[in-house]
Chains A and B, each alone.
Chain A
Amino acid sequence: MKPDSESMEPKTVEITVAGKAIQAREGETIIHALWQAGRGHDIQTGCVGGVCGACTVTLRFKDGRRGGTDLACLRPVEEGMEVFPFPVDALASPPPVSDPDEDKLRAEFPTVDRCTKCDNCTIACPMGIPVMDSVLRMQKGQLEAVAEDFTTCIHCGLCRAVCEDKVLPHTMGIWVRRSLGLSVDHPALDQTREATMSDQEEQEWEHLLNCDDQERLQRAKAFRKEGIIA
């Protein structure tokens, strides 16, 4: 089972970050390479796990391969990679509305119809969201599908930053999701509105709380089996 460690030694590659070269181990992420080089402050970093959208970068390759945009915390380094910090500021958006439709969306976001279908937003998205298609769905009012499209959106802002027509795709995405979300009825939650406690509830709390710690642990173990006082 033990691997042949010599042949597995990671190769060293050279990348540049904001024009300055660093040596990195093949397979590690851009952020980890920056840490190794003592340059952690050079790219704004948040979760280091691909979900906060802080470490947006643009990429270019010396050999002309397509670069594009990505998250520095997830992107592994490659020989000849040129990395440029590309922070995108978060943007406040209009408050969500109940029962959203395409008219309400258009009223809040008149730029939705400016989309020229260049598809830059889709290519820029590090999460693989079909952003441009979703903007077209917004125009048609297919908002349930839009909400689904933006389920994985980390609001890094790249789709907005690369949009030449200021269409604000992800900003509309969360507006649609929140608007749909607050329009859903949840009968299960409305039931909990009654604040008065039944006798049974009071008895159960009494049973679980009114004893010493050792006894409580035993009672809790028994109670959790069926959810009733045994």
Chain B
Amino acid sequence: MDWAKISLDKVKDTRKERVDQTAPSISDDEAQNLIKEYHPDYVGNERRIHVGPNADSDPFPMELADLLESDSPVPKNFEPTVDIETDVLILGGGGAGVTAALGLADSGLTVHLATKLRLGDANTVMAEGGIQAALGADDSTRRHFADSYVGGHGKNDTGLLRHLCEEGPAGIRWLTRLGTLFDQNDDGTFRFRSGGGTSTPRVLACRDYTGLEIMRVLKNAVMSGKTQLLEHDAAVELTDDGKDRVTGAVLWNTQTGKLVTVSARAVILATGGSGQLRLQGYPTSNHLGATGDGLILAYRQGCSLVFPGSHQYHPSGSSYPEALVGQLVTESIRSAGAQILNVNGERFIDEMTFRDVVAAAIIREVVEGRGIETPTGRRGVWLDTPLIEQTKGKGTLTHQFPGLIHRFKRYGIDPTTQPLLIYPTLHYQNGGVRIDTECRTERAGLWAAGEVTGGVHGTNRLMGNSLLDIIVFGRRVSESVRQNVPERGAVTLTRLKRYRDELSGLPHKPETTAPQLYPRVSGMKFELKEIPKPGPGAEASPDAVKSFEPPDPFASR
């Protein structure tokens, strides 16, 4: 990183005097002003939409507004005929969906779980820092509530938040019974980390692979059960009975290109977030499929969205090297003592305050010319990771943050000696589909859990509350469905037809279809493939991919 030598020397030179420095303090009012002036949610890149339950009320990010006013990819002449009949259809194969499936394991109900990618390829697996639960000696569920409520700017749905905090310890117990390993102290007690905005250490972790640990346990558990998995099946529409009750879904198989209709007595929406919409051109820490599909599906059924304009920009997305742009550098690295510095090696924000405040402070620093520019024109500020080796002892980073070391090592960057360049990255959808405390949406037959929902986190989520969200509400949704599963209804696209009528009245229509399914940058998109009918004596189609043996990876050993 010779291009940044002058600035890196300053970081090195100031390190000694920064070791015992207290963090720059910021008052509540200053923090609010900082957010209003610099946080991407507030820059005004929004508009109202003119269809559906939120019509002409809340402002939406442009990208999401366009999708909500887009047509469905399902052809107009498509009449759903049931291919699969099940009791419960879960849409989404991340932490919330799989937790729900496990919760329904002994219910006697048949359960199908459909996921656009593979089981477990989701934001859950990418969560690094940890999961909150009020288990510490100085802690309580009320303190967890107060921290989350202040972090969410007092916009949180108090009913949902109370459940999140109160059922945290039981959620952790459930996870440990499944065999999840959390970091422990030498005496066998849980090791708690601090997160931005936690007033006492409350975050349980498995190094910097907490989401991976949880997801691989959930995935392993669900695979040995009776849940029917529909992988590579993206939900592109919900069906209804003609009387506003959700009765199933139309799936698009990404490998065959065919549509599959599922009839279900209950549908659980667990499709996750929307980072891959890359609002305002921001990079994202999210997985390939995070395109807000569930928001579109639920909205067309008449479900309203809570805080649709609120997104979390994680303060520490990687800004260099280019291949890692947008990828997460866990918040717990700051909790372990890494400081955030501008081009002159100066601290400018309390690293452990709320995420939206830290993100806004970084953006201000860059806007006002105190950032660092990379050879490809990206900008950022320093995260002084080598400081941890100095304050917490050599080897701390390698032991506590193996994921971080592993990822950067490939690109010749060693975080134990080299500060990382960071800039906010689109990380989490704070808002989403409105649910009640039983995870019911505003439409009968449709439940929802996890990142696709909105309300519990207000307009800013604390670290470690999203992994808890999927566990607590994944469990709650399965309980709620168990007790209220309706009888099977007719499978029609009545709501879609009505929505299309509404859309046709719009003066300007976006030329896209929604759900978007893939990030625009990937060039991947929805495509229906007609299956050629084999005629008599038909040969294999000329462009069919010939099967071949992949080369022996060890041939040249």
Give the B-binding residues of A (Cβ under 8 A): 1-3, 5, 8, 10, 18-19, 27-29, 32, 35-36, 38-41, 44-52, 54, 58-60, 64-69, 74-76, 82, 84-86, 90-96, 120, 123-124, 127-128, 147, 151-155, 162, 174, 177-182, 184-186, 188-189, 192, 201, 204-205, 208-209, 213-214, 216-217, 219-221, 223-225, 227
Q: Known pairs A60-B555, A86-B550, A182-B177; list 10 more (Cβ under 8 Å).
A: A28-B323, A39-B523, A51-B126, A54-B121, A67-B556, A85-B550, A152-B212, A152-B402, A220-B145, A224-B146
Nearest CB to that of A127 among chain B residues? B406
Cross-chain contact B154 with A179 (CB below 8 angstroms): no
B172 within 8 A of A: yes
> Could you tell me if B179 and A181 are in contact, using CB atoms closer than 8 angstroms?
yes
- Minimum CB–CB distance from A32 to chain B (whole Å) comes to 7
Chain B residues with CB under 8 Å of A19's CB are 548
Contact indicator A151/B220 (Cβ below 8 Å): no
Q: Complex: how many Å from CA A1 to CA B5?
A: 9
Chain A proximity mask over B163-190: 1 for CB below 8 Å, otherwise 0 = 0000001101100111111000000111
Interface positions, chain B 368-411, Cβ under 8 Å from A, are: 372-377, 402-403, 406-407, 410-411
Binding site for A on B (CB under 8 A): 3-4, 6-7, 28, 117-122, 125-126, 135, 138-143, 145-147, 149-150, 153-154, 158, 162, 169-170, 172-173, 176-181, 188-190, 199-200, 206-207, 209, 211-213, 216-217, 219-220, 223-224, 254, 285, 287-289, 321-323, 327-328, 343, 372-377, 402-403, 406-407, 410-411, 518, 521-524, 545, 548, 550-551, 553-557
Contact present for A51 and B554 (CB under 8 Å): no
B173 to A: closest C-beta gap in Å: 4
Cβ B216 vs Cβ A153 within 8 A:
yes
A188 vs chain B, min Cβ distance (A): 5
Q: Chain A contacts of B375 at CB under 8 A?
A: 3, 5, 8
The chain A residue with its CB closest to the CB of B376 is A8
Q: Find out whether the CB atom of A74 lies under 8 angstroms from the CB atom of B220.
A: no
* A217-B459 Cα distance, complex, nearest whole Å: 14
Q: Are A47 and B142 in contact (CB under 8 A)?
A: no
User: Which chain B residues border A46 with CB–CB below 8 Å?
Assistant: 117-118, 120-122, 125, 287-289
Q: When the two chains form their complex, are residues A64 and B556 in contact, meaning their CB atoms are under 8 A apart?
A: yes
From known contacts A155-B216, A223-B142, infer whether A2 and B376 are also in contact, taking CB-CB under 8 Å: no
CB-nearest residue of chain A to B153:
A217
What are 22 A-B residue pairs whose CB atoms fall within 8 Å in the complex? Answer: A3-B375, A19-B548, A35-B522, A35-B523, A47-B288, A49-B287, A58-B551, A64-B556, A86-B550, A93-B224, A94-B224, A123-B557, A162-B554, A174-B217, A181-B179, A189-B169, A201-B140, A201-B142, A216-B154, A219-B146, A220-B146, A227-B199
Closest chain B CB from A193 CB (angstroms): 8
Which of A10, A52, A94 has the most chain B CB atoms closer than 10 A to its own CB?
A: A52
Query: Distance (Å) between the CB of B303 and the closest chain A CB?
Result: 24
User: Given A93-B224, A181-B176, A188-B190, does the pair A76, B212 have CB atoms closer than 8 Å?
Assistant: no
Q: How far is the CB of A176 from chain B (nearest CB, A)?
A: 10
